[in-house]
Amino acid sequence: MWLQVAVCLSCLLLGAQGQATFLRANDRSGRCQYSFTVASPAEDSCPTAGGGPEMEALRSRLTVLESLVSRLVSGDAGAAGAARAAPDAGLPEAYTRVMGEKSQLQQDKERLGRQVQVLQRRAEEQRLEVERLLAKPCQPPSAAQKDQRPASDPAWQLGNPRYQEVKAEVTEVPAPKQIQEGSQDSTGCGELVWVGEPVSHRKAESITGKYGVWMQDPEAVGPYGPQMLWRINTVGAEVRELYGYEDMDQLSRGFPTKVLLLPEPVESTGAAMYRGSLYYQRRRSRTLLRYDLATESIAARRDLPHAGFHGQFPYSWGGYTDIDLAVDEQGLWAIYSTNKAKGAIVVSQLDPGGLEVRRSWETNIRKNTVANAFMICGRLYTVASYASPNTTVNYAFDTATGESRSIAVPMRNSYRYNSMVDYNPVQRKLFSWDNFHMVSYAVRLGKPEAN
């Protein structure tokens, strides 16, 4: 549109200055061509290069024309700008809408926050419920069982216990190497080559004795003699009763001659008796305690460095059996695991006086794949299954060489829930607690048959 106006104005301007003709014709290529012809009032022919007054006047008029065209163009652009500015009128509305959406999102966030709190509260309630169920008392003994209670045994006076049982699956590890009975060395030590049939000495009287530990001090000192046997029923939230029997006959009859109340509670079945002291793991801790039988007090306490506890690295049956203490011909040992060992059995020799670790070995035997472990002559042995009636002693780790190997010494779990196995170097027997039963096994030591 502005081009047509410019052409008209050009005609007017030019017409005011002199006669002008406007021609339109096709050129040789057929395109439409427009041309002006203006007669000069002073010249009969075209001006020479460089122009003259007429050319200057023409330039001046063209400048005016360009100015007009430019204003027209800018006017159009201004109109277009106004058109673009029109949507700005909707900004308040958009702002209001966005603020509304923001408010809605805020409300959603608060609602989700409340839901998270509700779910967290439920999770906490469920955790407490699990703890309550774990601590729930089992059924009391039947009337028939009550009639069989020996009135003199304080084990019956415990009231309603609470339980810390943790189940785990049975693991059987095949052993490629068959060990045959051989001869002992000159010290009487040797490798375990045979485990006898289990002999049951006593069945625990109450549910508190489903799991437990029983012991005889291989280096007993006063006031108790070398025949004294000790036992702890380990089912309960606060296990603190230590029963003493003057010999095997009294244990079998269920008549304790001494009952001691330990000052701090016991965790699980890993306790050991040695040189007049009971060594045990304090409940829910990696703290080892030495309870002196003569003074009836804690004589030493020390954390077992980095040891897992309370279900972190138990044996396969669970039961918070993270730290297992053992005694053999070479002294006092702790069998456990650490985060660094990633669940593999670590065995440490302990100083019996102050409980310091003298030396440690890390094995390649995963603790949660075996049912229990014990030490004989500085060698660690593991039991494959706590529940299988026909299981094996399946690994041996020698602290003298730092090497472990698979073995397969048959062993029976008569009562199919073995919660404790330890060696007594004086009796040359394994002491075991198999589903309420205090059991022993004769063993033979020797050298394995060479392959």
**Interface ranges with Ca ion (CB under 5 A):** 324, 372, 374, 422
Q: Which is nearer to Ca ion, 267 or 324 (CB)?
A: 324
Minimum CB separation from Ca ion for residue 335, in Å? 7
Minimum CB separation from Ca ion for residue 327, in Å? 10
Minimum CB separation from Ca ion for residue 195, in Å? 14
> Comparing C-alpha atoms, which of 100, 133, 195 is closest to residue 396?
195
Segments in 282-410 forming alpha helices (H)? none
Q: Which is nearer to Ca ion, 372 or 399 (CB)?
A: 372
In whole angstroms, how large is the CA radius of gyration of the chain? 49
Minimum CB separation from Ca ion for residue 434, in Å? 13
On the 0-12 / 13-18 / 19+ scale of CB atoms within 10 A, 397 is: buried
Minimum CB separation from Ca ion for residue 146, in Å? 32
Q: Which is nearer to Ca ion, 153 or 398 (CB)?
A: 398
Q: Which is nearer to Ca ion, 243 or 386 (CB)?
A: 386
User: Amino acid identity, residue 172?
Assistant: E
Could you give the CA distance from residue 213 to residue 229 in angstroms, rounded to a whole number? 11
- The four Cα atoms 353, 358, 361, 367 give a dihedral, to 10 degrees, of 20
Q: Sign of the CA dihedral 401, 405, 409, 414?
A: positive
C-alpha count within 13 angstroms, C-beta hemisphere, residue 61 = 17
Minimum CB separation from Ca ion for residue 136, in Å? 28
Residue 343 region by backbone torsions, left for phi larger than 0, else alpha for psi between -120 and 50, else beta:
left
**Hey, which residues does 199 pair with through a beta bridge?**
440
Q: Which is nearer to Ca ion, 271 or 408 (CB)?
A: 271
Q: Is the peptide bond before 141 cis (omega within 30 degrees of 0)?
A: no
CA distances from residue 234 to 210, 327, 362, 445 in whole angstroms, order as listed: 8, 19, 28, 31
Q: Which is nearer to Ca ion, 14 or 323 (CB)?
A: 323
Minimum CB separation from Ca ion for residue 367, in Å? 11
Q: Which is nearer to Ca ion, 375 or 445 (CB)?
A: 375
Q: Which is nearer to Ca ion, 372 or 385 (CB)?
A: 372
CA distances from residue 371 to 242, 318, 384, 397, 415 in whole angstroms, order as listed: 24, 9, 6, 16, 14
Residue carrying structure tokens 């601590």: 135
Minimum CB separation from Ca ion for residue 419, in Å? 10
Q: Say if residues 149 and 205 touch (Cβ distance below 8 Å).
A: yes
Q: Which is nearer to Ca ion, 322 or 324 (CB)?
A: 324
Minimum CB separation from Ca ion for residue 347, in Å? 11
